[in-house]
Amino acid sequence: MLFKLAVDCIILAYDPGDNQLKVLLVQRENEPAKGQWALPGGFVDEPEDFAVTAARKLRQETGVTVPYLEQVRAYALTDPTVGQRLASVSYYALLEWAHYAPAADRTHLAQWFALPHVPALPFDHARKVQDAWQRVQEAARNRPVPFYLLPPKFPLNQLQRFYEALYQAPLDNRNFRKWVKGLPYVEALAELETNVSHRPSQLYQFKASAYAAFGQATRLTPY
Amino acid sequence: MLFKLAVDCIILAYDPGDNQLKVLLVQRENEPAKGQWALPGGFVDEPEDFAVTAARKLRQETGVTVPYLEQVRAYALTDPTVGQRLASVSYYALLEWAHYAPAADRTHLAQWFALPHVPALPFDHARKVQDAWQRVQEAARNRPVPFYLLPPKFPLNQLQRFYEALYQAPLDNRNFRKWVKGLPYVEALAELETNVSHRPSQLYQFKASAYAAFGQATRLTPY
DNA sequence: CAAATAAGCGTAGTTAATACGCAAACTTAG
DNA sequence: CTAAGTTTGCGTATTAACTACGCTTATTTG
């Protein structure tokens, strides 16, 4: 029994503009579900690892160049309109907001949607978004997920807002910054925010080397 | 591009005899790697969900009837001896030791191997075992994994040994039992162990209803 | 009956986590 | 140029979680 294999990408980015975690959806160009918002992806048509295929589809459809990509899981597609046996493997991608540059020559639309508010999606894409989101939440407990989603320099408040968006729960700013200050891999810079309508914040950055050294020993998730 | 799809099962059980977490391997009946120990599994040949296929293969090859089954992930098989495009989806199964009854009519051998000491495995099976084990370790932080692996009645020491085997780390018996006593879903029975060469332990059991009520609120992993 | 083994109860100390109060710095509105 | 609004940023006090041990008790085996 033979299968057509598809990859689906759940592309996530954190918008520092409105402090929301967002997922990138594209408007489908072909039937089924033509014209609807759906996850970017496509059939595996080259003899390569799924992750490679996912990265390529992603680049073609959205102009995003291979960021942090990790598999979520495989799904047996149970779409009744498809006669052929079909399976799909989904990947989540973590992308820095500023790095997104829509492909110029591409004909279909792509649009960001803030995370709890995705539109109705065809097939099992809604479930895939949920699964991916949950997987990222779990990953953030073992890996420095914000490294991939925040800009190189950021104020502490931005990091806090990111965690609040990821876990959909408010954090106490004082306890939060106490926690961050204890992290060896978050480094304060001698630089301030500008053009903000309040007291400007000091900027911080991630230090990958410090993370490699003792990051694993510290808690990766805030209070 | 079409794929043959295989499922692989990582069947795990906890042997109360020697307090070890073990994985069930079968001796391959067909080429490639005929005669070698490998994960049970096979090609998906029915239009059904992979989990269903996995449960069926598992029953046929090892006599194990569908226990707790969960997907680990999908792999693009990069075996050079296979001309055709091949992918596989692996599942881990949690099985109570006493429930394993080898299928009588089956021709190939199955054997348990204690977890860090699996033999050399063909294809990418060694990696699959590792991935599955890690996934179970993570799952145990969110789900009552020991429910599925321990006998209905057990002494506390057995639960402790299980966790030690799962995480490959020793636990302090006094702190461990303090922790367990705080769990609402582990219930003491008015019953003692017999025929042990030391002071007999009180027996305990899991209470699924109590777990459903407040299990999620408590820490699921010992100290 | 002594030795071995694990059960089982305890206490003390340390660190992690929670819950707040409040002053300081900057922008904008009037 | 002052007041209001907003966020930064440093603090303290309390509680709960975690760690590290000491020691007694019950049973089987030699």
* pLDDT by residue, tens only, chain A of 223 residues: 889 999 999 999 999 888 999 999 999 888 788 889 999 998 998 888 999 999 998 888 888 887 899 999 999 986 655 556 899 999 999 999 988 876 655 556 889 999 989 999 998 999 999 999 999 999 999 899 999 999 999 999 999 999 999 999 999 999 999 999 989 999 999 888 877 888 889 999 999 999 988 767 788 888 8
In which band, very low, low, confident or very high, does the pLDDT at B106 lie, cut at 50, 70 and 90? low
Alpha helices in B31-155 (DSSP H): 50-62, 125-139, 145-149
Contact A1 B85 (CB under 8 A): no
CA of A174 to C1' of D1 (A): 32
In which band, very low, low, confident or very high, does the pLDDT at B82 lie, cut at 50, 70 and 90? low
Contact B1 A44 (CB under 8 A): yes
Mean pLDDT of the region B139-156 = 93
The pLDDT assigned to B125 comes to 96
In chain B, % of residues over pLDDT 90: 62
B62 is written with which tokens? 């090892």
In which band, very low, low, confident or very high, does the pLDDT at B31 lie, cut at 50, 70 and 90? confident
The pLDDT assigned to B64 comes to 81
The pLDDT assigned to B223 comes to 85
Mean pLDDT (chain B, rounded): 89
Mean pLDDT of the region B11-25 = 93
Judged by CB atoms within 8 Å, which residues 179-198 of B form the interface with A? none
In which band, very low, low, confident or very high, does the pLDDT at B192 lie, cut at 50, 70 and 90? confident
Nearest to B3 among A3, A71, A73 (CB): A3
Cα angle B152, B18, B126; round to 5? 100
Within 8 A of A78 by CB-CB distance, chain B residues are 49
Strand partners, B45: none
Task: Walk me through the domains of chain A, giving residue ranges and CATH numbers.
Answer: 4-139 (3.90.79.10), 149-217 (1.10.10.10)
Contact A78 B49 (CB under 8 A): yes
B198 is written with which tokens? 């030391």
Amino acid at B97: W
Q: Which residues contact A187 (CB under 8 A, 6 or more apart)?
A: A204, A205, A206, A207, A210
